[in-house]
Amino acid sequence: MHSDPKVPLQLRKVAVQVENVLKGGPVPKTVTVYYFSWAGGFDGPRPLGFWQVGGRRIFWLRRDSGSLRTACDGWDGCTMEVQSGSHLRYRPNPNKPLDYALADLLLTRGEGVVSEIGFATEIAQGVPDQGLQGYVVEKLRYLAVTERGDVKASACKLLWIYTVDRVDPKVRRDAENALHAGNCRCTAKPDGNAECQ
């Protein structure tokens, strides 16, 4: 590791089947991605490479000596799991920041088999929303109105957070209206969190 030469890293590679390119130039449908992960034991957050085979991830990549490699080394701070299904026909708006595409992919049910618990967990973890809270509230509203079970409950809980968080008053009103439209029933627990249905 350049920042600490005493820490050994190991070069690894993975074959990635590309469904979408959210930013940057075109890439082939299957690419080899290189990354550096810990060469020995580790203690801490999830390291690079601990991914589910066949699962979906968003990768932040860069070109290095003609090859694609992850934008981070060691800890996994440059990939994001996608549990919402396949989005083969999705095309991001090139005039909008990348976070809009992330919200679209993470907060929209895709095609194929979707794990309800996985999708609900993904929603509950939230998405980057700096400067696009209104857009995220609309995505969550749609989920609260159209989904059921754990997915709906997760969307309702995030909407509830927008109603109690320090956000723009219009975003707060939109979140309150979305809770009502989705018939979300949220109650505050003693620890300050919400339980939603």
- The first and second tokens of residue 59, run together, are 């990768």
49: left (phi over 0), alpha (psi -120 to 50) or beta: left
Q: Dump pLDDT digits (tens) for 68-79.
A: 999 999 889 999
Same domain, 87 and 52: no
Over residues 172-192, mean pLDDT: 93
Same domain, 100 and 31: no
Write down the residue that tokens 């005493």 correspond to. Answer: 6
% of the chain residues with pLDDT over 90: 77
Same domain, 90 and 151: yes
Over residues 96-111, mean pLDDT: 96
Tell me if residue 19 falls in helix, strand or coil.
coil
Same domain, 100 and 165: yes
Cα–Cα separations (whole angstroms), residue 145 to 5, 69, 174: 53, 40, 14
Boundary-marking domain end, from 33, 52, 82: 82
Residue 194 has pLDDT above 90, yes or no: no
Q: What's the pTM value of the predicted model, to 2 decimals?
A: 0.90
Same domain, 97 and 186: yes
Residue 167 has pLDDT above 90, yes or no: no
Same domain, 115 and 147: yes
Would you place residue 165 in the very low, low, confident or very high pLDDT band (cuts 50, 70, 90)?
confident
Enclosing domain of residue 63: 1-82
Residue 101 has pLDDT above 90, yes or no: yes
Same domain, 72 and 92: no
Three-state secondary structure string covering 40-69: CCCCCCCECCCCCCCCEEEECEEEECCEEE
Q: Dump pLDDT digits (tens) for 115-148.
A: 999 999 999 999 999 999 999 999 999 999 999 9
Same domain, 129 and 191: yes
Same domain, 135 and 68: no
Same domain, 184 and 88: yes
Same domain, 118 and 64: no
